[in-house]
């Protein structure tokens, strides 16, 4: 259950980059990545910054979910 948010965030970004979910006037990390595809050969940092933000957000949600599960586990059998 704790991995639902990171999966949703990654799915939203990938769907937005494929223009399935959000259209270009709406800002999202996926739309940012989709918009810089033509500049990847000359300015790779344009894709690196939103890509790093997606990675940090998904990893943070995963770590927060793990820590909450460990803190709220009443059975105490999780390592």
Q: Say if pTM beats, i.e. exceeds, 0.75.
A: no
Question: Residues 10-33: pLDDT tens digits?
Answer: 655 555 444 555 566 777 777 788
Q: Would you list the domain boundaries of the chain?
A: 4-72
Angle at 27 between CA 21 and CA 33, to 5 degrees: 75
DSSP states along the chain: -TTHHHHHHHHHHHHHHTTSSS-TTS--HHHHHHHTGGGTTT-THHHHHHHHHHHHHHHHHHHHHHHHHHHH-SS----
CA angle 36, 40, 45 (to 5 degrees): 80
56 pLDDT band, cuts 50/70/90, is very high
């Amino acid at each position: 259950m704790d991995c639902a948010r990171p999966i949703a965030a990654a799915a939203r970004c990938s769907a937005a980059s494929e223009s399935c979910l959000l259209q270009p006037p709406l800002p999202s990390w996926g739309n940012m990545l989709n918009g810089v595809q033509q500049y990847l050969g000359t300015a790779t940092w344009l894709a690196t910054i939103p890509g790093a933000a997606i990675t940090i957000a998904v990893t943070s949600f995963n770590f927060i979910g793990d820590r909450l599960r460990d803190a709220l586990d009443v059975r105490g059998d999780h390592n």
